A and B are shown apart, each in its own frame.
Chain A
Amino acid sequence: MAVLEVQHLEKRFGATRVLEDIGFSLEKGRALAILGSSGSGKTTLLRCLNFLETPNGGRILVNGNCIFDAADPATQRENEVRKKRLHFGMVFQAFHLFPQYTALENVTLAATLLAQERGASRDELAAIRDEGLELLRTMGLADRAQHYPHQLSGGQQQRVAIARALSLKPDILCFDEPTSALDPELTGEVLRVIRSLAERETTMIIVTHEMAFARDVADEAIFMDGGRIVEQGAARQVIEDPQNERTRRFLARYAAGGSD
């Protein structure tokens, strides 16, 4: 069964249609790349999945349960939305780490707050701390746990942000152009981490402009243009042998070394 199913998703800002009839599904353990030029609606799609935007139409199903239905206001109550968000993890382009907390505290804050809400014991809180340290270790940041964000490089900050997004064990991890704010030298270390997550069969949606990376790491790909999906299929096929004219033109520009 698909972990995620998106049906006829639609989003308007005023009179502008930003997303139109978006539909796709994602199997557990697979990675999906979302490609397309700036303004094609990729980021808005991710934001809709994380309930940072409310779609105007369509449905979102996780593990077969409908968690959002534009036609049913009962699925949009703030209290429940908060819990539903936890199905998704989100890694932002600009990291958005909390500056007043150490790397470790950034990773453990949300889990600690949730645990305190249900009156967790001291042992449970210690376990959350250990898990946080373990996550940072898998990101190659064991020695940076007590550093504050401003003491870390951009690549290190983004890896802390990935650990933070993983801390609540989301069903699906979303990346919104995770390397666009990094210089080429730092891009590599973040891509390596995402690649290792893919190898461990983390279910992921990755919005990216790194075509070679998307081709190698993603299982499936969606190409968006003007708020619509114009092409979807196996990542290798969409990127190496696109069928749609718009996709071809976009990818040709990448092949020529231009950026969008």
Chain B
Amino acid sequence: MFWTVTLSLLEGTAAAAELFFLTLIFALPLGLVVSFGSMSKWAPFARMKANIPAWLRTFRPVSLVVRTVVWVFRGTPLMLQLLIIYYGPGLLWNNNVWGSGTGGRMFAAVVAFILNYACYFSEIYRGGIESVPRGQYEAGLVLGMTRRQIFFRVTLLQMIKRIVPPMSNEIITLVKDTSLARIIAVTEIIKVGENFMRKGMIWPLFYTGVFYLVFVGVLTLLFGWIEKKLDYFK
């Protein structure tokens, strides 16, 4: 029995890992784009000659839209977002864009997770970028470097060093959040445990915790290693 349960839970772990890695691969870069959006200083009316109210001069449409989106995704439960994203198109337009079966459910879950986590990551990036002293940027400028060179050669690594601790927190939360996908019937670890519980076995549910602990344990070692690697500068 123990091996049957273990094998089933490993299958659930595979689904959780798929969701986890796909989310990371897409949400990490997307979050950076979102953070640039929320930091956008584009103000189309700032230099207008006409007599317009002061608030319109400081109006930054890109920043406003992006910050509103971030507010919505951080401000509502991920479980709700999963339900709306998976069932919404079918119920509203009679068009299930996700396709049927396991693949469709996983696809919808991945999209919901990417959007949600990109928003969380964007705020971590923003904090990291804004915490790099402005003098670093100016020192690059007076040396004739382009904005792109300054970002990639000067600011980025300093930002990465600063965001490793909050990022590792968020990524560990992501591991455990994958269990939310069972609300749209993705068979991840907890779902497998629940299935056994329905057959009258309680211990597999407790056993699921071990799988999360191992997953997070590996990540903790990895983040520790990254922090150590970046320890050579202050």
Contacts and interface: CB of A to CB of B under 8 A. Distances in A.
B153 A85 contact: no
Nearest to A109: B153
Interface in B123-182: 133, 135-136, 138-146, 149, 153-154, 157-158, 161
Contacts of A50: 141-142
Interface string A111-130: 00110000000000000000
Given A94-B135, A96-B138, A98-B154, A109 B143 contact: yes
Interface string A161-195: 00011011000000000000000000000000000
A113 B149 contact: yes
Nearest to B132: A99
Contacts of B149: 113
Interface residues of B, number: 21
A117 B138 CA distance: 20
A2 interface: no
A85 B233 contact: no
Contact of B144 (A100, A110, A148): A110
Interface of B: 133, 135-136, 138-146, 149, 153-154, 157-158, 161, 232-234
B233 A100 contact: yes
A50 B137 CA distance: 13
A45 to B, nearest CB: 15
B142 to A, nearest CB: 4
A164 B136 CA distance: 13
A86 B143 CA distance: 7
Nearest to A148: B233
Interface of A: 50-52, 82-83, 85-86, 88-90, 92, 94, 96-100, 109-110, 113-114, 148-150, 164-165, 167-168
Contact of A98 (B139, B144, B232): B139
Residues of B contacting A: mostly: helix
11 contacts: A85-B142, A88-B142, A89-B142, A92-B139, A100-B158, A100-B161, A100-B232, A109-B143, A113-B145, A148-B232, A164-B143
A94 B138 CA distance: 12
B42 to A, nearest CB: 15
Given A109-B153, A113-B149, A148-B233, A92 B135 contact: yes
A168 B233 contact: no
A150 B234 contact: yes
A90 B142 contact: yes
A90 B142 CA distance: 7
